[in-house]
Amino acid sequence: MKEKIESIKSVALLAIEQATTSSGLNDVRVRFLGKSGEITSLMKLLGTVSKEERPAMGKALNDVRVQIESALDAKTAVVEESEKQARLAAEAVDVTLPGKTSAKGSLHPLTLVREDILRVFLGMGFSVAEGPEIESDLYNFQLLNVPKDHPARDMQDTFYVNDNFVLRTHTSPMQARIMTTTQPPIRVVIPGRVYRSDDDASHSPIFHQIEGLAVDKHITVGDLEGCLQTFAEQMFSSDTRIRLRPSYFPFTEPSVEVDVTCAICHGKGCRVCKGTGWVEILGAGIVNPAVLEMCGIDSKEYSGFAFGLGLERIAMIKYGIPNIKLFYENDVRFLEQFN
């Protein structure tokens, strides 16, 4: 038994010396000191040793157990410390590295320009209304003095939903919706999405307009011009001028197209204004008395002006944007410039 004890001792001490991990050391502890470990098994055999030898064997066995235990404890302390250092090194945080920032969103340029435009008109006493994008033929055309088969329908290439409904081609149907339900005085602006079969660098099949409508006693072209001049100055710059050119819309009489001096070259002539110094921004006019009457407003007592501007057009002029498609591509490199 003496030899057996000595051999277990040297095997155990060698195993402890060779173990490099705390789990390896634990295996050694189980192998020699565990419930069915080699030292424990020898302890159980002590009963078979002669009475005379038993105290010496017991002492020898106990000494070896103590030696193995203390060798295990010492090595475990060393290994655990080096494991701790390795873990700390692996988890180390370099506090000098720049922090992770989350990307910051911003409002779309069309939203920014729409808010700017609405702010100007709110400041002049207008309120804001909105209406449906799928619109009946009645409001989109008929109540605006464009009966079925009228040639003016060709002015706007229309997406028909069916015989009686269209994707609204402009925000003007809201004029009729408001005038059929509200008596003057009326001062309202109506932003919204509109649809036309139209597609090039400055025209999109889906775009945005802002309609304006004022109906009251004694409204004249002078009121329209003053209102739009104030709008142009506040929207672009105080030296911006507007001019009214004769035009035709079935729902206004007289009708005008309104130009502003180019915001890029201030009227000198450049690429954006094609050298003319002027850029067209909207259609407008005095509400046709026939429209007032169809909507239930007495045209002898009341008159009104209306206008419809293209939101994309205003944004393109304000920021010098060459192609309308840039608004819809959602390219962050474009969008973040308006942050």
Strands 242-249 and 303-310: unpaired
In the complex, which residue's CB is closest to ligand FA5?
310
CB 60 within 8 A of CB 3: no
User: Cβ closer to ligand FA5: 32 or 207?
Assistant: 207
Q: What residues from 169 to 188 belong to the interface with ligand FA5 (CB under 6 A)?
A: 170, 172
Work out which of 204, 240, 261, 303 binds ligand FA5, going by CB under 6 A.
Answer: 204
The answer to whether 306 contacts ligand FA5 (rule: CB under 6 A) is yes
The answer to whether 108 contacts ligand FA5 (rule: CB under 6 A) is no
Which range touches ligand FA5 (CB under 6 A), out of 27-35, 230-238, 290-298, 308-316? 308-316
Strand blocks (E) in 80-218? 127-128, 134-136, 165-167, 186-195, 206-216
Work out which of 140, 252, 261, 288 binds ligand FA5, going by CB under 6 A.
Answer: 252
Work out which of 19, 179, 282, 295 binds ligand FA5, going by CB under 6 A.
Answer: 282
The answer to whether 263 contacts ligand FA5 (rule: CB under 6 A) is no
State the Cα torsion 166-167-170-174 to the nearest 10°.
70
Work out which of 210, 294, 308, 321 binds ligand FA5, going by CB under 6 A.
Answer: 308
Work out which of 38, 141, 313, 317 binds ligand FA5, going by CB under 6 A.
Answer: 313
- Closest distance of CB 107 from ligand FA5, Å: 20
Contacts of 155 (CB under 8 A, 6+ apart): none
Residue 92: phi and psi, rounded to 5, are -60, 140
Which range touches ligand FA5 (CB under 6 A), out of 22-30, 71-79, 203-211, 290-298? 203-211
Q: How far is CA 168 from the centre of its chain?
A: 26
Distances (CA, A) of 243 to 16, 25, 223: 97, 93, 14
Relative orientation angle of helices 54-91 and 2-18, to the nearest 10 degrees: 10
Contacts of 8 (CB under 8 A, 6+ apart): 32, 38, 39, 42, 64
Which range touches ligand FA5 (CB under 6 A), out of 10-18, 45-53, 226-234, 305-313? 305-313
The answer to whether 109 contacts ligand FA5 (rule: CB under 6 A) is no
Nearest Cα to 212, choosing from 145, 259, 282, 146? Answer: 282
The answer to whether 310 contacts ligand FA5 (rule: CB under 6 A) is yes
CA–CA dist 37, 69 (Å, integer): 13
The answer to whether 168 contacts ligand FA5 (rule: CB under 6 A) is no
The answer to whether 209 contacts ligand FA5 (rule: CB under 6 A) is yes
Question: What does the binding site for ligand FA5 look like in residue numbers (CB under 6 A)?
Answer: 156, 170, 172, 196, 198, 203-204, 207, 209, 211, 249, 252, 280, 282-285, 306-308, 310, 312-313, 324
